Amino acid sequence: MSQSLTHEPDFERSTFIQSCAYCGARFEVLVSRLAGSDEPEDYDCPECGKRYTTQAALPPLVNLRSRRRDGKSDGYQETMF
């Protein structure tokens, strides 16, 4: 019985809780890192859509933990007008 090598990369997964700087929502971010394959990956606040960037090998997964606290329902605006 021969051992077959898998080509599944050995991702290093980690999670952290982030508070959105715009709306105050808290969400969990699951990041998969792989030595030599990390690059800037975007993820969005699930409540207002504000964009964040982290170093990862795959697009981060986001899980909302607590709702926004600014009492608004608008989305984050990149430009002020």
Q: Which residue ranges make up the site for Zn ion (CB under 5 A)?
A: 20, 22-23, 25, 45, 47-48, 50
Which of 23/31 has CB closer to Zn ion?
Answer: 23
**Other CB atoms within 10 Å distance of the CB of residue 52:** 16
> Nearest distance from residue 39's CB to Zn ion, in Å?
24
> Nearest distance from residue 38's CB to Zn ion, in Å?
24
* In contact, 30 and 76? CB cutoff 8 Å: no
62 forms beta bridges with 29
Whose tokens are 């030595």? That residue is 35
> Nearest distance from residue 77's CB to Zn ion, in Å?
12
